[in-house]
Structure 1
């Protein structure tokens, strides 16, 4: 029996890796006639280090996230995805993407971009992708390639 995903969540953060995951998620959602959930998590820990934090940074981050999600939603609609939900959350991205959102929205597939962290960075902070793979209660697809299953130009050169 062919697996049909009902709700596909893609975590987007404006990075090129997230863009690859988003475009593939649009294709999978279209083929499965699935709901596409676009999630952006604003990492509030970054604001805790700013001593003069007065709400402006969070407001700017929220406005940028809203515009990014609107652009992604427009792209998905142009590619015949009819059911789209956009979410902006605040907090630590790892547990929100891996557990909270999938449980709240009955997600059965998470699509996420591979990170560009090097080995030393992963040791100290860990990647969101790695955390999601280990802790999510649903299928996770880590996207590394474009729509033609080719590595992006910068990655292809480094190998």
Structure 2
């Protein structure tokens, strides 16, 4: 009884009841279809893995298209054109492509089609630009717990995406 009352309260807070919904579960599922395009930022970290798991669950629940995005970026990669820069970029590209391929396999195991994107540049700019291009309505990111110095120097990608995104953003801890 308490679970049903709780669901009804959440559904009432979320908006009007859908016409023809025979149960609260059906209402919750139907409301989930509002997510059409879902994007998750990944980088191979444990936090990004948690974000991917969350995004995969949302995609299963909502039937949304799922995009995974990895961005090659770092202070060393921003240096002027040089053989060292090219080697760093190629190593980062290979590592991130392995991450994306692994995620694609994981998604396929649960019958979710995953479109992957490997971009180069500033992560905030790249994530926001692709989200806009793909008409993403929900973006999922992992939370990074950087030290105080790193946060002051570089800022948080998740925080800046939350500040500037035109869509719903979920930050997974």
TM-score (ref. length: structure 2): 0.76
Match of 1:40 among 60, 70, 73: 70
Give the C-alpha shift of residue 46 in structure 1: 2.5
Matches within 5 A, 1:1-150: 2-3=31-32, 4-43=34-73, 45-49=75-79, 52-53=83-84, 55-81=86-112, 83-97=113-127, 99-144=128-173
C-alpha offsets along residues 107-129 of structure 1, whole Å, 9 cap, x if unaligned?
A: 11000001111344322211100
Higher relative contact order (CA 8 A, sep 6+): 1
- Alpha-carbon RMSD across the aligned residues, in angstroms, is 1.7
Give the C-alpha shift of residue 15 in structure 1: 0.8
How many residues are aligned here? Answer: 142
8 Å CA contact 1:45, 1:91 repeated in 2:
no
8 Å CA contact 2:47, 2:172 repeated in 1:
yes
Structure 1 residue runs without a partner (length 5+):
145-159
Distance 1:38 1:87 in 2: 6
State which structure, 1 or 2, has the greater radius of gyration over its C-alpha atoms: 2
| SS class of match (1:141) | strand
* 4+ residue segments displaced more than 3 Å: 48-52
Distance 1:115 1:87 in 2: 21
Distance 1:70 1:130 in 2: 27
| SS class of match (2:40) | strand
TM-score (ref. length: structure 1): 0.82
Structure 2 residue runs without a partner (length 5+):
1-17, 19-30
